[in-house]
Structure 1
């Protein structure tokens, strides 16, 4: 119950972060600024927390180059997520983020060349049917901007790719180190764009940007804590509660009613994710404890990209 509670709180923080991103975007803040502050705020918060608890040595690494490569991919995914949050209704952007497991299955089958059974293929087909229902290719462009849809699906692809990079890093690195170096290098990459996209803001806008960074970091810390107290297959199911918060924020803060297609497409995508989660749980019982730990590390480290 503690693990489930922590994961539920993490989804509240993550949904709040995207609500703040959308709010800041409507106030004239660029995506580059928001990515920078999301990453930059995490660096002192994580480092300070580890310092106070005497665990700063956990950040030691001999693989800075690999962390930088992972941060490059992950920061691109964060740009996609921020763009989707700014351009799409919050429930739609959140639901498209649930496609990451579908793309992970495709990468496993087509790139890694590992065997994928009928259950996971069924989930992929089911999930992409849900995507088609939500995006409605025959709908007018103004209903859902194509750039926003591309960003939402692009985020799903990139998060899936990042999961394979984390699988490699998790063999030698602490999960919290993966999160820290992702934020460190990601903030450096985003800082390059600040001279072109940064601008002066009112004090309340700066508070919004700080809140984006704090809520995103808290979400990651809660995700990590949840996985210390519960199994991956148990807690990851709670991620779908983010859709409840996204819908609530969309209606109460922005006055956006979810498009009717979300009520038909979202259940298909969520069902697909649940099938994949169940199947991975079954398969994890057939692998070594070390591999199982790697999978937990992946779950801890993928969501910061969102």
Structure 2
């Protein structure tokens, strides 16, 4: 399910770039992303446990998650539009790095020198890919991609708190539903006529985004985070392939050098987090015994 979500998200990113090239604004793309996902998730819930299952007493927490999530998505989409797919995807791999920093600062999670070293190494990889002194792609796009990654990492911190009482499906539903109203107002001012191909791409963004969201949520229900999250790095393979086949663009030489550094740092952070949680579980089990 996780590998499926990775492939579908990569396909959605292709639709985002094609829609923008076809004349659609990022505001329109955001609206269709969330509107399509909302319809699909609502249909899945209605056909399964029923809409009553997503009732919540933590609406303010969901509103905050929606605000942060939408902001992160807007930055991410601008990064996808401005950068080649492989570079946008590579910079997106900084989410575990930012999550480690936020976990230490906000949640006061113990973070040893191993993970701080991985954080520093990951940012070195970002500097290699972005090449601030170079001009192989817009720094505006790199900045948007980094801001999107930071926002996504912030969402993971919020989800750790929300997840204590809310199911994953409830969280996904409220994020989609709460996004539609403000995006509808934004869309009303940005809506314009498009060629048929662009409308298909916009529909693809919404449909594929919803499918990928459900597959990703299902993967977390079926397997531990330490097992499924590393599979996300396979998205670089799809981004490179789609970038070459659809846009005739291959990653720059700096990306080939920096991407492995970012991926390695992210995998190491995930592994250290897995080890830490396993030790805490064993200590709790021994204590209760």
Q: TM-score range by the shorter chain?
A: over 0.9
After superposition, the Cα gap between the structure-2 partners of 1:251 and 1:125, relative to the gap in structure 1 and judged at 3 Å, is same
1:63 counterpart residue number: 58
Count of matched residue positions in the alignment of Structure 1 and Structure 2: 283
CA contact (8 A) 2:132 2:139 kept: no
TM-score (norm 2): 0.94
Matching residue within 241, 249, 255 for 2:242: 249
Residue 109 of structure 2 is matched in structure 1 by 114
**Aligned to 1:179, which of 172, 176, 181?**
172
- TM-score norm. by structure 1 comes to 0.89
CA RMSD of the aligned region, Å?
1.6
2:208 matched to 1:223?
Answer: no
Task: Say whether 1:76 aligns with 2:71.
Answer: yes
Structure 2 unpaired stretches of 5+: 285-289
What does residue 287 of structure 2 align with?
none
Q: CA deviation at 1:227?
A: 2.2
Per the TM alignment, residue 9 of structure 1 is displaced from its structure 2 partner at its CA by 1.1
Paired with 1:55 and 1:224, the residues of 2 have a C-alpha distance of 17
| SS of residue matched to 2:159 | helix
Of the three residues 17, 33, 36, the one matched with 1:38 is 33
- 1:256-271 correspondence runs (5 A): 256-271=249-264
Contact preservation (8 Å) 2:233, 2:263: yes
Counterpart of 1:286 in 2: which secondary structure?
helix
Gaps of 5+ in 1: 1-5, 292-306
- Which residue of structure 1 lines up, in the alignment, with residue 126 of structure 2? 131
SS at match of 1:184: helix
Which contiguous aligned blocks of 4+ residues in structure 1 show a shift greater than 4 angstroms?
A: none
55 and 283 in structure 1: CA distance in 2 versus 1, 3 angstrom threshold: farther
Partner of 2:2: 7
Aligned residue among 48, 51, 60 for 1:53: 48
Q: What residue number does 1:29 align with?
A: 24
- SS of equivalent to 2:279: coil
